[in-house]
A and B are shown apart, each in its own frame.
Chain A
Amino acid sequence: MPASDYIVTIGLEVHAQLTTQSKMYCGCKVGYGAPPNSQTCPVCLGMPGAMPTLNEAAIEKTVLTGLMLGCENPEISKWDRKNYFYPDMPKNYQLTQFDLPLCEHGSVPLYDHCYPKDVQKDIPRPGYAVKLTRIHLEEDVGKSTHHEKNTTIDFNRAGTPLMEIVSDPDIRTGEEAFAYLNSLRQILIAGGVSDADMEKGQMRCDVNISLRKTEEEPLGAKIELKNLNSPAAVRRAIHYEIDRQSTELDAGTPQVQCTRRWDDDLGESTVMRSKEDAHDYRYFPEPDLLPIRTAPIVEAMKKLVPELPHEKSQRFVTDFGVTEYDASVLSSDKHLATYFEQAATGAKNTKLVANWVLNDLLSALKESFTEIQDSTQVPAENLRALVDLIESGKISGKQAKNDVFPAMLETGKTAGDIVKEKGLEQVSDTGALEAFCDQVIQENEAIAADVRSGNEKAANALVGRVMKLSKGQANPKVVIGILLEKLK
């Protein structure tokens, strides 16, 4: 049967590094770029007898994430040891949470604009929110570098607070997985809990995927995919996996539970380990850490829940009258949203401000490889002033685009100053314009007569002549008004 007839069931496990100063169980500094093994101590090196302590901020940020995603919290939360041997994990166990995680249930809303561009017009489950199983708080491992004959290990990253967000098997396509990751990222950034950049390893994703033929059948063998470094890679890996599994199932080859490694350059996955090597982690409660009562933390974090991207988006529609799509893009990035809000507040035409931000400003920033928060040439109030000049007829949209905005980007000056310097101000002074109009009507009697007899379109030809007389500085809207009045 065709791949599209199989029922695909997908669950995602996302690890996000939290934005804390220090590590999860010790005071070593968190962050990149330090010389190898310089941000380590007996706790994160797993020395015998070293005692871990819980980082309060990491717990708070995890609880805040739970609040943003509508999770519940067990009354008591505790930590457990997950035993396994791997050189990047010096204690030979990971300190994580097993049966009492900080957060349970909740969901991640899939925002329309977070889907891949090519499918945004055809979303099978619009407005769907993917259910979550749990969110728990654990620690990252060290960084291994594999060489020809050996492996070297840097433990600076070991012990970095890591939040694991586990979804229910509630995702059906690679596109939903793509939207899930982008939506989740926007929410984590809005809450200031993680920078969540997959390409920088601040957010990582494992995919579990299985296929079956009918709803009545139990779920198919679960295949885990690893080494996925971007939402686009996740999407590609899922497509590949659906094709691979359906082809094998069609050929009568049953699927066996295993872990596969995705190679994004080759566009294929290979078996990493089979079910026979599945880990037996022998979890047991961590005796050196005491449990946490969640209620007071939840209470304290409620005050810190930010306006989420979809709430901001709705407000932009209501307050500024922009389209739902524009609003969703404008609210997708914290800094972009702040810029737009500053520019649109008090503007004469807020929709036009949105157009300028989304088109002219963003493409200019893209060309100069600048992030909106780092750009200083066109502050929000200057963009608002530019749009106000267009709106009030002082300059035309064309002049703004071709002459004024490029000069603003180049010089950092205000639109008003540039208009004055370049002598671009449109002539809206009716006295001067009436004289031009009279002259043009006199010189073009035939056209004037045509307009008088009711052919208003013919007036456009006269407008062109007035524009010429005014050396392009007349405001065409005002000119046509005067001409039609005179030729009634």
Chain B
Amino acid sequence: MAAAPESDLDIRYVADLARITLTDEEADTLGGQLEKIISYVKQLEALDVSGIEPTAHATPLFDIVREDTVKPSIGVDATLANAPQKTTDQFLVTKVVE
């Protein structure tokens, strides 16, 4: 199999943006896989789209909105049911200060 073509992919940077820590081995494996995905998608660049109107969405539908009416919420207990850490009524997380 031919080596993955060169790309601008910086696997360490992408992992950092996604808050994922990678070992060197993982970075090699995932980096290689992502390169392949990108080169596969890059085939689209070969298409001639010069005569085609740009679209804002793949589905040709517009103006799907709802009225501004209040619907019942799910309640505090259900809201916190999946929380890894919580107080009686709030989500608890590691201290963050920005």
Contacts and interface: CB of A to CB of B under 8 A. Distances in A.
Q: Do A and B bind each other?
A: yes
Interface of A: 20-22, 26-29, 35-42, 45, 53-59, 76, 78, 83, 85-87, 100, 144-147, 149-155, 272-273, 280, 282, 285, 287, 289-293, 296
B76 to A, nearest CB: 5
Interface residues of B, number: 35
A76 B56 contact: yes
Contacts of A53: 64-66
Complex A-B, nearest 9 residue pairs according to Cβ-Cβ distance, in ascending order? A27-B71, A57-B68, A152-B90, A291-B56, A56-B65, A78-B56, A153-B91, A54-B65, A36-B89
Given A37-B79, A100-B56, A290-B61, A21 B91 contact: no
Given A87-B96, A290-B57, A291-B56, A28 B70 contact: yes
Interface SS majority for chain A: loop
A87 B70 contact: no
Contact of B79 (A40, A151, A272): A40
Contacts of A100: 56
Given A78-B56, A85-B19, A151 B75 contact: no
A26 to B, nearest CB: 8
A42 B19 contact: no
Contacts of B19: 85
Contacts of B79: 37-38, 40, 45, 155
Contacts of A27: 66, 69-72
Contacts of A287: 57-58
B56 A38 contact: no
B97 A146 contact: yes
Contact of B63 (A29, A144, A272, A292): A292
Nearest to A34: B73
Interface of B: 17, 19, 56-59, 61-76, 79-80, 87, 89-98
Given A39-B73, A290-B61, A290-B63, A58 B68 contact: yes
B68 A38 contact: no
A87 B71 CA distance: 25
B34 to A, nearest CB: 14
Nearest to A18: B68
Contacts of B73: 28-29, 38-41
Given A53-B66, A56-B67, 11 more contacts: A40-B79, A58-B68, A78-B56, A151-B95, A154-B89, A282-B17, A291-B62, A292-B62, A292-B63, A293-B63, A296-B63
A119 B19 CA distance: 49
Contacts of B17: 83, 280, 282
Interface centre among A85, A144, A146, A273 (most CB of B within 10 A): A144
B62 A35 contact: no
